[in-house]
A and B are shown apart, each in its own frame.
Chain A
Amino acid sequence: MKKRQPEKMHEVGIATEIYRMSRAIAEEHGGGPLEDVFVRVGELTAVEPDLLEFAWQALTMETPDARSKLHVEYCPAVQMCQSCGQTPERARGRWLPLCPNCGTLLKVEGGQELDLERVSFLEKE
């Protein structure tokens, strides 16, 4: 039977990509095991931080990187008012149709981040 990549939950696909990129960087610098991997995940990427961290654990289990940790910085989408320049506060997942200050339609900005920020790893023994 053909072996398939375990990409059924899409956080797994994203975690796989982060792992591939992080390993490549560690290899360039001597190839030691990963320690900490820092990523930024925007609210509008449809990537759930908890699931991403869980997928990371599953992927690195039983590898030399099993002790590494994925750190997810969550980046909220910002609702900006182009009229009065305010960015009114809202709770995660709640959208404001109009600016509470001046009644103008709010524009959604940011929240699209899906970036690998930095990677730390041990020197190879």
Chain B
Amino acid sequence: MAEVDVKQKILAANQAAAASIREGYQSSGTLVLNLISSPGSGKTTLLEATVKTLRDRHRLAAIEGDIATEKDADRLRAFGVPAHQILTGGACHLDARQVNQALETVGDPLVACDILFIENVGNLICPTSYDLGEDFKVALLSVVEGDDKPFKYPAIFSRAAVAVLTKMDLLPHVSFDLAAVRNQIRTLNPEGRLLEVSAKTGEGMDQWYRLLEEALERKKSGRSALAG
């Protein structure tokens, strides 16, 4: 019998694909975000509002990950933004190889842009493990999902540099302990940013846009997209 010491990352192949994506976007200065949340927490709605506001100032593009249908890509195409749909056919997350394939297939619209939004498959668990070459992960949590979620899904909330509480306009109608959620997110990721928004009413959205534009400016000047 023979034994070999390996000491390698299990996701090394994914990591290598992610590194090549990251390298490509480093030279173009494109800001790349990986949006992760459970289904129905408002990722696409946040993106609709975002592209509507920022499309005149920046070249935007999106990759949409879903198990089935092109609905999400269609919603963003309606705003004239190039959007590519990846259908995973059952897989619960996107991996870097799929993103690489999309970049090769689609080319310029996804490659030559200022901000690329990658909307992951709706799932708070599996997407966490797969680096897609993004500058940072954004975790979304809507106030209707319940105030216990960060501690129930610690992996994503500890890894996402930015957490966004969505559907804040519904806060008066649900029992959601905002202070407790802020505390949980801060516990899991003391250095992370937390935003509270409603894409519907526009509440807090200015902060989101400012965060994106500051990150883009940092990326364009060759610095890390988030300060600190």
Q: Contact residues of A with B, CB < 8 Å?
A: 4, 7-10, 13-14, 17-18, 21, 25, 29-30, 32, 35, 39, 43-47, 77, 93, 95-98, 105-108, 114-123
Which of B9, B14, B183, B187 has the largest count of A CB atoms less than 10 A from its CB? Answer: B187
Additional 17 contacts, C-beta under 8 A, given A8-B92, A95-B188, A122-B1: A10-B126, A13-B91, A14-B129, A17-B13, A21-B6, A21-B10, A25-B4, A43-B154, A45-B128, A46-B125, A46-B156, A77-B154, A95-B151, A105-B186, A115-B8, A116-B8, A117-B7
B49-76 vs A, Cβ < 8 Å mask (1 yes, 0 no): 0000000000000000000000000000
B interface secondary structure, majority: mixed
CB distance B89 to A4 under 8 Å?
yes
- Cβ distance A87 to chain B, nearest Cβ, rounded Å: 15
Which one, B4, B90, B125, contacts A29 given CB within 8 A? B4
A10 with B91, Cβ < 8 A, contacts A21-B10, A114-B129 known: yes
A interface secondary structure, majority: mixed
Q: Kindly list chain A residues whose C-beta atoms are within 8 Å of the C-beta of B186.
A: 105
Q: Contact residues of B with A, CB < 8 Å?
A: 1-14, 89-93, 95, 125-126, 128-129, 151, 154-156, 158-159, 183-184, 186-190
C-alpha spacing A106/B189, complex, angstroms:
9
A123 with B10, Cβ < 8 A, contacts A10-B91, A13-B91, A46-B155 known: no
A45 with B155, Cβ < 8 A, contacts A115-B8, A118-B6, A119-B4 known: yes
A118 with B8, Cβ < 8 A, contacts A7-B91, A47-B129 known: no
Which one, A29, A95, A106, A115, contacts B2 given CB within 8 A? A29
